[in-house]
Structure 1
Amino acid sequence: MSRAGDVLPARGQAGRGRGGARAAIARYFARFDEGEVIRWAFRGLLIGAVGVLAMDLHDLIEARRPAVSPPADIATPVLPPAVATRDGEGGAATVDPRDQVTVDEDRLRRPIGFTLKPGGILAAEGFVDIGAAARFATEIEMRGEYVRAVLFNSSGGSLDDAIAIARQIRARGLATGVVDGAFCASSCPLMLAGGVTRSVGAKSAIGLHQFYAVGDMPVEPAQAMSDAQATTARISRHLSEMGVDPALWLHALDTPPRALYYLSMDEMRGYRLATGAGPIAAQ
Structure 2
Amino acid sequence: MRIDDLFKALMRLDDGVLMRGAFFTLLSAAAVFLLIDVRDLTAMNAELPGFDPMHQNQPILPPALTDGMPNAPPVRPASPNEVLRQPMKFELTSGGVLLAEGTMDPGAGARFAQELEARGEYVTTVALNSPGGSVDDALAISKLIRDKKLNTKVASKALCASSCPIVFAGGLGRVAEKDAVVGVHQVFNGSTVRPTAEQAMSAAQSTTARVARHLDAMGIGAGLWINALETPPDRLYYLTAKEMADFRLTTEPVATAKKKG
Question: Which residue identity is paired with 1:72?
Answer: P
Contact between 2:149 and 2:171, CA under 8 Å: does it hold in 1? yes
Contact between 1:177 and 1:279, CA under 8 Å: does it hold in 2? no
Contact between 1:179 and 1:281, CA under 8 Å: does it hold in 2? no
Equivalent residue for 2:122, pick from 122, 146, 149: 146
**Does the residue aligned with 2:119 lie in a helix, a strand or coil?**
helix
1:176 pairs with 2:152: yes
> How far apart, CA to CA, are the structure 2 residues paired with 1:221 and 1:239?
27
Q: Which residue number in structure 2 is paired with residue 188 of structure 1? A: 164
> How far apart, CA to CA, are the structure 1 residues paired with 2:131 and 2:192?
23
> How far apart, CA to CA, are the structure 2 residues paired with 1:130 and 1:280?
33
Cα distance 1:215–1:145, how it changes in 2: closer, same or farther (>3 A)?
closer
1:234 pairs with 2:215: no
Question: Which residue identity is paired with 2:59?
Answer: P
Cα distance 1:132–1:281, how it changes in 2: closer, same or farther (>3 A)?
farther
> How far apart, CA to CA, are the structure 1 residues paired with 2:160 and 2:260?
15
Equivalent residue for 1:113, pick from 81, 85, 89: 89
Q: Which residue number in structure 2 is paired with residue 279 of structure 1? A: 257
> Deviation string for 1:223-278 (max 9, x for gaps)?
32222221111110010111111331111111111111101111100000011233
User: How far 1:216 moved relative to its partner?
Assistant: 4.4
1:78 pairs with 2:78: no
> How far apart, CA to CA, are the structure 2 residues paired with 1:113 and 1:259?
25
**Does the residue aligned with 1:279 lie in a helix, a strand or coil?**
helix
Task: Give aligned pairs, total.
Answer: 211
> How far apart, CA to CA, are the structure 2 residues paired with 1:170 and 1:124?
16
Contact between 1:177 and 1:280, CA under 8 Å: does it hold in 2? no
**Once superposed, what is the RMSD of the aligned Cα atoms?**
2.3
1:82-93 residue pairs with structure 2 within 5 A?
82-84=64-66
Q: Which moved more, 1:69-78 or 1:165-174?
A: 69-78
Q: Which residue number in structure 1 is paired with residue 106 of structure 2? A: 130
Q: Which residue number in structure 1 is paired with residue 222 of structure 2? A: 246
Q: Structure 1 length as normaliser, TM-score?
A: 0.69
Contact between 2:178 and 2:258, CA under 8 Å: does it hold in 1? no
> How far apart, CA to CA, are the structure 2 residues paired with 1:172 and 1:195?
9
Unaligned runs of 5+ in 1: 1-63, 86-94
Contact between 1:68 and 1:215, CA under 8 Å: does it hold in 2? no
Q: Which moved more, 1:183-192 or 1:226-235?
A: 226-235
> How far apart, CA to CA, are the structure 1 residues paired with 2:93 and 2:190?
34
> Deviation string for 1:95-119 (max 9, x for gaps)?
9544342221210000010000010
**Does the residue aligned with 2:86 lie in a helix, a strand or coil?**
coil
Q: Larger radius of gyration, structure 1 or 2?
A: 1
User: How far 1:282 moved relative to its partner?
Assistant: 8.6
Contact between 1:153 and 1:182, CA under 8 Å: does it hold in 2? yes
> How far apart, CA to CA, are the structure 1 residues paired with 2:260 and 2:88?
18
Question: Which residue identity is paired with 1:222?
Answer: E
Query: Among the aligned pairs, what percent are the same residue?
Result: 44
> How far apart, CA to CA, are the structure 2 residues paired with 1:172 and 1:217?
35
Question: Which residue identity is paired with 1:78?
Answer: I
> How far apart, CA to CA, are the structure 1 residues paired with 2:259 and 2:167?
19
Contact between 2:150 and 2:171, CA under 8 Å: does it hold in 1? yes
> How far apart, CA to CA, are the structure 1 residues paired with 2:45 and 2:183?
23
> How far apart, CA to CA, are the structure 2 residues paired with 1:179 and 1:218?
36
**Does the residue aligned with 2:165 lie in a helix, a strand or coil?**
helix
> Deviation string for 1:152-178 (max 9, x for gaps)?
000000000000000110011000010
